[in-house]
Chain A
Amino acid sequence: MNRQSFLPAVGVGVLVAVWYALVWVKIVDPVLLPSPGATFAALVKGMAGGPLLKDFLRTVERTGYAIAIATVIAVPIGILLGSHEKLYRSVEFIVDFFRSTPASALFPLFLVIFGVGDRTKVLVGAFAAALGILFNVAYGVMHARKTRLLAARVMGASPMRVLTDVMLLESLPQTFVGLRNGVSIALVIVVVAEMFIGSTDGLGHAVFESQQLFQMPEMYAAIFAAGALGYGLNLAFLLIEKRFVHWSGK
């Protein structure tokens, strides 16, 4: 085993130690900052079949739908735009503009159109993720190595074969950059949506409700659960990428 692999644990250890110290010297109001032990107990209790697990799974579900819808829409459009550079140039500004617009600013609009149900939460998340994915896919297709395209052409590949055999695969590493970005954005949007728009479940709702009820260990537990979810999703996409885009960065 790598001798350096314990290093991440050092940071975690220090953080927990500082946290204990803060609680012990009572610098912060104990109501606002429960001990790591109490927080961890709340996390385990909530996740082991408690209400937190249900909220966690609801957030996973919404984020999953959001990223799935975003992918299904953005990948084909990204390929189309990327393989027609003039077309891309003509919509580049629109893509960049809405990519730069905070998706949370669109909540009211989506609420008016889709109502207060799950649809709005999922769709705003999907919208935010889609533009990032679209941009990265188009960029990946456009920046396919010229030599590789020429090589395929000189071997007699038709334009369609060049697209399917070379451009698409060339764009995969960049597509995964977009997907990882997209899943992070979608999670942010879904959690925020769960906090405010008439929600009854989800991690955002769990954080907000325990804060309202001053159940601080539960609130921290929900925050950590959200953090673990974000980290886990990113890691999952990295592992998928490593498995299927083995040539990435080589």
Chain B
Amino acid sequence: MFVSGGERVAGAGSMSAAAAPPPAATGEPVHITIRGLSKRFGDVVIYDNFDLDIPRGRFISVFGPNGCGKSTLINLIAGLTPIDAGSILFGGKTLKQTKIGYVFQNYREALFPWLRSIENIEYPLKLMKMPKGERDAKVERLVQHLGVKIDLARYPYELSGGQMQLVSIMRALIVEPEVLFLDEPFSALDYEMTLFMREQLQRIFLETGTTMVLVSHDLEEAVYLADRVLLLSRRPARIADYAVADIARPRSDATLSDPAFVHLKGHCLEVFQREVRRA
């Protein structure tokens, strides 16, 4: 499972490498390489010379104090926010040469209400000028693959919140992206739906093997889904920890009481609180 001799995963915030514990090197192939990333909004420095490696085919959860730049990180990687300095490469390729998917927190505002759900899912393929027949076949395959039971002829506003978010995840997956970014995708859903959607997302991850980067404000969710949990410090954000979640998949309700899970969650909480208290 682990490729030995691959590129080392290494990436402490270089400006304060001494203060931050070095992220665990797992020897996995690197997918996204971030070097010297800097970003400021006005006078506020969010990232200053930030380095990070994201392993291929892994699920990375990003967690940290409020306003530390969790969402900004994936927005910078996904090109939604321009970077001030630094480089971000996807297996050596630029963003333009890479297919990515992005799932927004606000599914209601991210979907196009004038299109039916199926047309929403097909839209990225339409942008790629794929003929109608192929588009339909592709959506059909994805629906089968994921076992989705939603009436996709409906308009998004006729669906429930969870169904809408599932449609926007499908819209992100239809192009078979190399990386899927998810910005707090379940935080607008009720708890029951959140649990259900977690399972759906885990299934999609296991079936597709897509590299996924999830921003979450729910530590349980972050640890539950992750192969590695990226803990950020207060801004300017450094890597506070980049913990490996060595917990068997598929995970289930039983995972929540698994000692490895409990221990990792406790550890992440400790790191988080240390960072929150840091003035």
Instruction: Name A residues whose Cβ lies closer than 8 Å to a Cβ of B.
Output: 145-148, 150-151, 153-157, 161, 165-166, 169, 172, 245-247, 250
Contact = CB atoms under 8 A, between A and B. Distances in A.
B104 A156 contact: no
Contact of A151 (B79, B110, B114, B157): B110
A247 B102 CA distance: 23
Interface residues of B, number: 21
B114 A154 contact: no
Contacts of A250: 113, 157
Given A161-B127, A246-B155, A151 B113 contact: no
Interface of B: 78-80, 100, 102, 104, 106, 109-114, 123-124, 127-128, 155, 157, 171, 175
B106 A147 contact: yes
A156 B128 contact: yes
24 contacts: A147-B106, A147-B109, A147-B110, A148-B109, A148-B112, A150-B104, A151-B110, A151-B111, A153-B80, A154-B78, A154-B80, A155-B127, A155-B171, A155-B175, A156-B128, A161-B127, A166-B112, A169-B114, A245-B114, A246-B155, A247-B113, A247-B155, A247-B157, A250-B113
Contacts of A247: 113-114, 155, 157
Nearest to A245: B114
Contacts of A157: 127
Contact of B102 (A148, A151, A165, A245): A151
Nearest to B114: A169
Contacts of A153: 80
Contacts of B111: 151
Given A154-B79, A247-B113, 12 more contacts: A145-B109, A146-B109, A147-B104, A150-B80, A151-B104, A154-B80, A155-B175, A156-B128, A166-B112, A169-B114, A172-B114, A245-B114
Contacts of B106: 147
Contacts of A145: 109
B112 to A, nearest CB: 7
Contacts of A151: 102, 104, 110-111
B124 A148 contact: no
A92 B110 CA distance: 29
A145 B104 CA distance: 13
A41 B204 CA distance: 72
Contacts of A172: 114
Contacts of A148: 109-110, 112
Nearest to A168: B114
Nearest to B123: A155
B28 to A, nearest CB: 26
Given A147-B106, A246-B155, A247-B157, A154 B112 contact: no
